[in-house]
Chain A
Amino acid sequence: MVEYNTAQEVEKDAAYKKELVELLYQLADDDFILAFRGSEWLGIAPHIEEDVAFSSISQDKMGHAVIYYEMLEELGEGKADDLAHLREPKERKNAIILEEVNGPGNYLEEPEYDWAFAVVRNYFYDISKAIRLSSLKNSSYKPLAQVAKKMILEQYYHLTHWNMWFTQLINATDEAKKRMRQAIDKVWKDFDGVLTLGPSAKEMARLGLIKEEQELKDKWMTEIKEVFEKLGVELPTNDGPGMERGDGRNGEHTEDLTTALQTLSEVYKVDPAAGW
């Protein structure tokens, strides 16, 4: 199987580069938009200790997005800041469930944010991310394998954090149970959008960039089943989560992404050529 050690080496293999770039956009956009949603929680988490911990997690996530965007920059895709701030919604590859607003209101006015949704979305995502990273450790693109090894160390803490919240809340009061159930059902409907690697998943696996999509999905389902069984909670369905609102990997998105991008690029767009 081919292996590449630098961005320069990839230049001569157009087919490989195409799939590598596609995968990197998915990884970058997923982390970027969820870190953005996390940053909107700043200052209004359930308690001050959580505010500090959640913010630390969001920073790590944003940091990972930066690493991926910088790898894309090295591959000639343009400036990392432009990739994060200027691409149109239809060019974005993140899963739809990750762009969804935290709840009614917005982060400045009347944020009626839903902590159960935050816990479930982040927990499910971080399980999936840990599985993905452990596959990327063996990626044929060595720079990606290298960064995956580092990210995995941080990922362990994130996963522990969300697992703790999930476990604490799911069997607590009746209201907590109800809210967690609603959040699980909501996330479940679209979570396949996170698990999929998009239209060229097979080609990515063939080139050794990452493992087969199905294998990664099965691992995620196995882990989720174990957690749910241990806690005595029923799965919403037995055949895995859905993708009701479309495939973000294919550029399909909701209005939530459009408004998120307007917010996060508001200042940058004043003058993208200026130094900020």
Chain B
Amino acid sequence: MSLFAFDSLTEEEKYDRFLERINAGEKIEADDWMPDDYRKQLLKLIPMHGISEIMGALPEKEWVPKAPSLRRKLAIMSKVQDEMGHGQLLLRVAEDLMRPLGKRREDIMEDLLTGRLKFHNVFHMEAPTWGDAGVIAWLVDGAAIISQTMMLTTSYAPYGRALKRICAEEVFHAQHGEAIVMALAEGTDEQRQMLQDAVNRWWESLLMFFGPDTSKRTGNSNQDKNIMYKLRTKSNEELRQDFLTKYIPRIHSIGLTVPDETLHYDEEEEMWVYQQPDWDKFKQIVSNNGPRSQARLRLREISHENNEWVREALGKKQTMQTASV
């Protein structure tokens, strides 16, 4: 159809054309026509993902200066840098989507600080030991790989391209996490205990990571719409099941346990049965009432305040180009 002909269609006809396109497996580019609702869904998903990468750097950042060997120091620095890089990549995708609405990156940052924009439940949690640094890189990144790989086929092309790069790097992160975890698992009693405690601490958060199975649990879910728009292909529960299938055997094989005695694989149902996490707690956590929510937001806020003079100085010098290293 010519551009002229497309312009003369009604909104409803455009919408139908759009759904035909994505149902035929076509990808949508930033400048293509898209329904407002589609843009709205993307703008729920991508800034949240981007800001979660950035907030996700903070729990591990706590362990960067303390990493217990030169090799680990280098590896975790590089890993956290990658997370910031992912945040940058995703915020750029979000910026393009926000431009027609007259919004900018600054707005994303402000939405974060005012609590309008949420970040992933896992990054509200405490990471009190080096064992947590290992479990985050191994299992939280492992969970992220499962959900991000599923979204590689997303109908929104710029997001798909960003995810492709992110997934490639996440594989290295999970290996970095495995290396930390293996060293602790094969280490002294104290090291093994440190690791088991961290797994216990993270278990509920890991189950929550994929979101509730139905909207009934939290009264809110976008998964059906996202499946219709081909932004995702699997439900929250399918992803959680994939995660359990992949990681439960690995966790057991290195002599660790998970803090859920009811957990088992039901051969007939072909499903993992597990203790539901406390979804009310989940709602509290993502509403910035988790154990470290305020402290981590404060870090971003203080960085924002302290560097205001830098932004002003750069604003004056419009020629500023950030050197890439």
Contacts and interface: CB of A to CB of B under 8 A. Distances in A.
Contacts of B187: 274-276
Interface in B49-75: 54, 57-58, 61-74
B325 interface: yes
Contacts of A161: 323, 325
B218 to A, nearest CB: 29
A112 B302 contact: yes
B54 A42 contact: no
B73 to A, nearest CB: 6
Contact of B313 (A48, A55, A169): A169
Contacts of B72: 276
Contacts of B250: none
A112 B309 CA distance: 13
A53 B64 CA distance: 16
A169 B77 CA distance: 27
Interface string A140-157: 000000000000000001
Contacts of B314: 46, 168, 172
A34 to B, nearest CB: 13
Nearest to A32: B70
A53 B322 contact: yes
Q: Give the interface size class of chain A.
A: 35 or more
Given A51-B84, A62-B73, A63-B74, A267 B66 contact: yes
Nearest to A119: B310
B85 A52 contact: yes
Contacts of B84: 42-43, 48, 51-52, 55
A43 B323 contact: no
Contacts of A250: none
Interface in B270-325: 295, 298-300, 302-303, 306-307, 309-314, 316-317, 320-325
Interface stretch (A173-181, A184-192, A196-204, A217-225): A173-181
B214 interface: no
A53 B325 contact: yes
A57 B88 contact: no
A268 interface: yes
Interface stretch (A15-23, A103-111, A229-237, A238-246): A103-111
B188 interface: yes
A66 B309 CA distance: 35
Nearest to B179: A276
B325 A43 contact: no
A44 B310 contact: no
A50 B71 CA distance: 24
A110 B54 contact: no
Contacts of A274: 187-188, 191
Contact of B57 (A36, A43, A53, A80): A43
Nearest to A111: B302
Nearest to B55: A43
A175 B313 CA distance: 8
B122 interface: no
Nearest to B311: A46
A98 to B, nearest CB: 15
Contacts of B188: 271, 274
Given A44-B299, A46-B311, A271-B191, A39 B70 contact: no
Contact of A53 (B69, B74, B316, B323): B323
A105 B320 CA distance: 29
A59 B74 contact: yes
Interface in B164-212: 180, 183-184, 186-188, 190-191
A267 B322 contact: no
27 contacts: A36-B65, A39-B64, A39-B65, A42-B84, A43-B54, A43-B58, A43-B299, A44-B299, A44-B300, A45-B307, A49-B322, A52-B84, A53-B323, A53-B325, A55-B80, A58-B77, A63-B74, A105-B302, A112-B306, A114-B306, A161-B325, A164-B323, A168-B314, A172-B314, A173-B313, A176-B312, A267-B68
Interface of B: 54, 57-58, 61-74, 77-78, 80-81, 84-85, 87-88, 91, 130, 180, 183-184, 186-188, 190-191, 295, 298-300, 302-303, 306-307, 309-314, 316-317, 320-325
The 3 tightest CB contacts between A and B, nearest first, are: A172-B313, A44-B303, A55-B81
Given A42-B64, A84-B70, A157-B323, 17 more contacts: A39-B65, A43-B299, A44-B299, A48-B88, A52-B84, A52-B88, A69-B70, A85-B69, A158-B325, A161-B325, A169-B310, A175-B312, A176-B312, A267-B68, A270-B68, A275-B187, A276-B184
